[in-house]
Structure 1
């Protein structure tokens, strides 16, 4: 018996499919704030392989950030990278920027998706994909942890699927209007920002729809001392737009077609130019008044279009889901001064994806003691990615990938309490690259670091057969153990290898794919209002994808060495009273590489870009009145110090030590009338003066920025 807004859920990492929406019948309108949902965990329905399953039938670690959890966090911040860092054990802390460099999952790359549409591109990982959609248009976020091939290549650490909202209610038109004002409590001048959100939805005959428009403009970000936070990729002085629409048509009781479109743009227009920090003296990066050079950084545009057809109860009880999607995004990075031949350069990643998916599910058994099903189908993806400079010079040439993946998976329930699953997926990937010439990279004095090289293009082909299996036993709620084995696959940043090529033929470049094995053992304990989950995992790969700093060139290179990553996660939720909920989590992660490639001697720690320091979270939710809810949220990032200084007496990039810091957020919601709600959020409640973990381990003066000081968010929402 648990509060639906704080439980974490375990799911099997399935081999294919899109995680779909919770049933509209589960929503409930009320004139008071949401009360705890006193239902057994196994009764909760989620969708895992395009069809709903109960949580008692899943057997691997997953965190679900529910709509209620999103709303609680949105009362404080709209930064989804910060929301996920607080709510997802195993996820690295963010840095309050539009870049998610180093914010991986369980030490490996995470695949970001919107309704199953991939936002990430393993061909050239710009690490800006977490901010792909505004969280206000989401129904929930499902985070599958550990290597998985559920959506193809790229999810060696897991995947994050942003599930967009579905139309609710039976009215022809209803809606919600929200207005917010934000700013710094430590220095109000120039820090005030605003946000406006409008949503309409309804149902007319067999049609249903939901549309939403959001605009947000932030002011200057101030640190705990009231000074400007360094502007490199800062979310201060950022303008964000999000347009969302979803329309569905119910052909009959068994068939439905639905189309979704979302546009997201978020760019920084700062009035300041960067002043580098001094890491040795602890002086943070800041800015001075002046126009920034180049195009504003951030997402210039991210388009997602999704068409889904669903049919149930076909021949033999088989169900069918077929979907097609298109995604196009343009992400702008900061200007690199004195690096490229021909002058300064500003790069951007261009990515276009087109995909088709077909999924069928057929019953195999239907008895009292034994029942099962078979899921099968195929995925097709065409991904075209490049990273040119804004002025047209080619840094990373266009890579044209075709990915075909047939799959099959079985699931059996034996004597109701024993759940067994197993699946197979075959990845066939081909990447075409035309002939190109690398850019000559230079030092500040114009001397050559790497020369320009004419590279002969061609085809890069990858094939992998991936397996997963899981088992869970639910006889006793006090101890429900599970075990899973899953594999993940990634072509591992081909673009980075191409742009740094030192040979004249792409067939000579080390672009071998990464295959990851993930083992997880855990259990769930439930007793009345108490729930506890503990899981441990081991992740191995014969080829790594670690970013290592080369002090001789000043560049980051990919290290292709065997790796082993392991860790533990614990989550507890307790409904102490009907109006008082408590929750907490702890996650620990460590990883090493076998640099000598001996096959068993893991002798070098993985750096901070890969391994996050231990993290503790906790929360209290108190409802003294039906119309009033107060929440206090805590996140503690512990220290990590694994590396020695180099011969120059400084730490290499990505190897800086992390000092611990502690952050508290407060959120209050008050229902003034049955249709009007006021919210107050305070970020960094006690005004902690700190450097985010990434600022510490990155060891880059331009990114050595402090975290945001105490800040407010005041809002009003009207439902009608």
Structure 2
């Protein structure tokens, strides 16, 4: 019999069984993580094959256009959010070191329990716990390569960890990992570009490292103090610029890369205190500080697919040599959570309550040091309460509220001059534009209510309503000041007719100003509705769920015009996930996922258009897999992952951009060897040549269609892991 009850999750900010959680929950344990790491070490690629609601991975260091149920995913490490709400860049998920992770918890649907950002769902990477007694050392090495060119595509990886506990002293976990990558290739053996998605960074020519440490001390029975630190470093050195010409993005071997390297230098530190014997129940207090630095790719003007760049002052070569930016973000705060039993009022009732105080500041500058949006700082104050009560022996109800207040300070800045192109229509030069800041605030209560009903001892019906809260990438709006629409561009800039431009200096003489309060975006609240059934029977376990999410102030980015807009949206879908242990040696599993969405493009109150492909690139996805364990310890894994294409009208006029579906096969085999485990993994076994749907959705053109970014061809991984 497969049991669900022992699985405990932290999605409600305190530990609760999955069987009492009124939402779709998926827990990925360490053995499943290690099985997938035999194929790749990229967390987003692994998650895309394990979690039905997640997008197909774009196979780079960035998470651009990767969504969860068509919306944003809040990423946490040990309950501490890693997102940067004021400038929501996407390079987070792919850089997490899975060698530090013991389990991954996913809670689907909008939520505000951990703050802003979880409009689609929440993922929490829970790091390894210390082992008792003497030090235990684990080494994990891998060598990966593309079969199209093994010698030029080698990707070595190594990780070493040590964990233990001193007698009557602290316990500890230390992990150090390094990854290196060379060239990457598609299924036809062609080298892939270093920047196929324009400014996001690729999956090639980088070196990266991760250092993680955790020290803990049990002060007394039920009391514990713990500190942890994590450092992520990555440096990518592209060799060639990228050509953005149909039919697909590719390296331009005639133009060496002209910018600085792509860089990630991010540090997180946290301290936590827990007390299970606190007077009001159990107490958890967490203090954290994140220091994030990200540098993006240098890119040049392209009329069809990169039609907005910072302006050099010369029409013949309009791209500024400083058309590359660095993001700096510091975010720190304190989270307090108390879990109080209320048995004196009602048997089995519990109240989880607490407060958060967070300070954040962020800025983004060109490589010459000019601000590209208003530097901002923000204080967040929040309080929440979550009540859970068993109404009957079978029915448990949970509901709560969170109130969040954002106090935002926006500094003055001058948006650098920009150059824009419109195929067939002409060009525009936008001069430097002073943007006045000010003091602003956002606030809103968010609510949730749901329940679980036990059908049997091992199965439940669950469902409910929940809300999530997010600021819609404030920095992205101010970065586009004066260029958010055609009327704005004509007002703030100088129009130039189509045709060849002379190689002469030109400056637009308009002397205008604007202010943040004229362009400030509205806060986004997402309403999520979900109904499902989950459980186990004999050797089967699985779940089936349907969901709908709505928002009055959704955020849509149009890659064809490089513009942002806010309007109401609706996303809906269904997911099935199941696993059948046919014998002790053989198991089968699958997930089927469908999602689709519409929005009010012309803001007339009606859903008149389908959400763009960078929100939903593959309406239907499926993964099917099988595992066989031989008596000698050898384990064979085979999986297939497939998705449908999409060709939906993204505006009332019927404009659409076609993406194609595909099906890939992956396999791995592991065997005990010399006290450790040897493994061989193959991704894209049949070397399928395909366009990656998530990456291809980033740049689209009304006349030329979708610019394809091809997916990875066949890769082979050889690895060995051993514990001493």
1:27-46, aligned counterparts within 5 Å? 40-46=3-9
CA distance in 1, matches of 2:325, 2:55: 26
The match for 2:305 is none
Quote the Cα distance in structure 2 between the aligned partners of 1:466 and 1:128.
28
Structure 1 match to 2:689: 689
Q: Is the CA contact 2:334–2:356 (under 8 Å) kept in the aligned structure 1?
A: yes
String of CA shifts for 1:246-274, please: whole Å, max 9, x gaps: 1100001110000111111122223x313
- Check whether the contact 1:656–1:696 (CA below 8 A) recurs between aligned residues: no
8 Å contact kept, 2:241–2:256? no
**Contact 2:354–2:383 (8 Å) recurs in 1:** yes
CA deviation vs aligned residue, 1:420-474 (integer Å, no higher than 9, x gap): 1011100100110111111121147996443322222101200100100110101
- 2:200 pairs with 1:230: no
Which residue is 2:501 aligned to? none
How well do the aligned residues superpose, as a CA RMSD in angstroms? 2.3
Matches within 5 A, 1:354-373: 354-365=332-343, 370-373=347-350
CA separation in 2, counterparts of 1:699 and 1:335? 16
Query: Residues 426, 377 of structure 1: CA spacing in aligned structure 2 closer, same or farther, 3 A cutoff?
Result: same
Q: Secondary structure at the match of 1:497?
A: helix
Indicate yes or no: 2:462 matched with 1:458.
Answer: no
Displacement after TM superposition at 1:206 (Å): 3.3
- Report the counterpart of residue 493 of structure 1 in structure 2: 473
Residue among 259, 279, 284 paired with 1:315: 279
1:426 aligned partner: 403
Summarize the Cα distance change of 1:176–1:291 in structure 2 as closer, same or farther, 3 Å threshold: farther
Paired residues in the alignment total 665
Partner residue, 1:665 = 666
Secondary structure in structure 1 of the residue aligned to 2:270: strand
Classify 1:578/1:160 alpha carbon distance in 2 versus 1 (closer, same or farther; 3 Å): same
Q: CA deviation at 1:588?
A: 0.8
Deviation at 1:711, TM superposition (A): 1.0
Q: Does 1:416 align with 2:417?
A: no
Which residue of structure 1 lines up, in the alignment, with residue 311 of structure 2?
341
1:73 equivalenced with 2:16 (yes/no)? no
Following superposition, the deviation at residue 477 of structure 1 comes to 5.0
8 A Cα contact 2:112 2:402, kept in partner: yes
Runs of at least 5 residues in structure 1 that lack an aligned partner in the other structure = 3-39
What CA deviation, in whole Å up to 9, does each residue of 1:555-579 have, x standing for no partner?
4222211111111111111111111
Q: Is residue 2:303 matched to residue 1:304?
A: no
Do the aligned partners of 1:74 and 1:136 also contact (CA within 8 Å) in 2? no
TM-score, normalization: structure 1? 0.88
What does residue 617 of structure 2 align with?
A: 612
Show CA shifts across 1:270-305 (max 9, x none): 3x31341432xx344234276422221242x11010
Q: Secondary structure at the match of 1:409?
A: strand
Matching of residue 252 in structure 1 with residue 258 in structure 2: no
Q: Using a 3 Å threshold, how does the CA distance of structure 1 residues 544 and 47 change in structure 2: closer, same or farther? A: closer
TM-score (norm 2): 0.88
Shift in CA distance, 521/495, structure 1 to aligned 2, threshold 3 Å: same
CA 1:410–1:644 in 2, change beyond 3 Å: closer, same or farther? closer
Shift of 1:67: 1.2
Q: Distance in 1 between matches of 2:437 and 2:249?
A: 44
Counterpart secondary structure, 1:635: strand
Query: C-alpha deviations, 1:295-318, integer Å up to 9, x for none?
Result: 21242x1101010000012225x1
**Deviates most, 339-348 or 383-392:** 339-348
CA distance in 1, matches of 2:554, 2:215: 43
CA–CA distance in structure 2, aligned partners of residues 111 and 523 of structure 1? 24
Paired with 2:12 and 2:112, the residues of 1 have a C-alpha distance of 12
8 Å CA contact 2:460, 2:535 repeated in 1: yes
Using the alignment, how far apart are the partners of 1:269 and 1:391 within structure 2? 19
1:644–1:428 CA distance, 2 compared to 1 (3 A): closer
Partners of 1:222 and 1:336 in 2: CA distance: 21
1:350 corresponds to which residue?
A: 328
Instruction: Say whether residues 1:56 and 2:57 are aligned partners.
Output: no
1:302-350 residue CA offsets vs partner (Å, 9 max, x unmatched): 101010000012225x111111001011111111335213423101221
Is the CA contact (8 Å cut-off) linking 1:308 and 1:323 kept in structure 2?
yes
1:286 corresponds to 2:251: yes
**How far 1:642 sits from its partner (Å)?**
0.6
